[in-house]
Every structure is written in structure tokens, then in C-alpha cells.
Amino acid sequence: MEYPNAYERLRKAYPDVVQAYEKLGEAAKLAGPLSEREQRLVKVALTLGAGLEGGTHSHARRALEAGVSRDDLRHVAILGITTLGFPSAARGMTWINDMLEP
């Protein structure tokens, strides 16, 4: 898996911190019953709700790599309309589409 440059710089400067962070992420992943697919969709939804463009790009890309469909990712943004509001959902759709377009 290829990581963003900022993450790679952090990994090189603070390997112990990044290793602990990754270990925490793995523990959280294994803590519950959600499938890999469900976890990927939740991560996309969380980044959309938090307004994190880079996070949305990263988690949408990972979701695609895990076999989540393009339509599923778009549906996550559409579901945000009634929770986040239309402007936030439209912004999220733009970020998801960034990852879907060649």
C-alpha cells in the first residue's frame, strides 16, 4: 500500500509513534463484528462527516481496493444529505468522485 508523503515523513521521523498508531488501528479493527467491507464504508462515512478531504480520499481508495463498489461509495455521500446537509454531502460526493475518476 502506498501512503501519502506526509505519513511517510512521519513514519521516518517517529517510527515508534507510527507503529503504536498502526497497532491501535489493528486492535480497533479486530474489536468488533463488522466485516472488512462494512469497516471501509464506515471509515468513508466518518471522514465525510468530519469534513476531512484527505481522509475521504484515503479511505475511498482503500475501500475500492477492498472491493467496495463505486456505487456503494456514492451511496455513502447521498446518505449524508439528511444527516450532514446537502452542501456537506455534495462536497463529500466531490471528494469521492476524485477517487473514482481516472
Angle at 85 between CA 82 and CA 89, to 5 degrees: 95
22 in the same domain as 8? yes
Q: Which of 98, 78, 97, 76 is nearest to 86 (CA)?
A: 78
51 in the same domain as 11? no
pTM of this prediction? 0.89
88 in the same domain as 58? yes
Collapsing DSSP to helix, strand or coil, 72 comes out as: helix
Cell numbers for 3: 501512503
Residue 18 belongs to what domain range?
Answer: 1-32
96 in the same domain as 48? yes
- Per-residue confidence (pLDDT) for residue 3, from 0 to 100: 67
Q: What is the pLDDT along the chain (102 residues), one digit of tens a residue?
A: 566 688 899 999 999 999 999 999 999 999 999 999 999 999 999 999 999 999 999 999 999 999 999 999 999 999 999 999 999 999 999 999 999 986
- Per-residue confidence (pLDDT) for residue 66, from 0 to 100: 95
Q: Which residue has the cell 521521523?
A: 13
Number of domains in the chain: 2
- Per-residue confidence (pLDDT) for residue 5, from 0 to 100: 84
41 in the same domain as 26? no
73 in the same domain as 54? yes
62 in the same domain as 40? yes
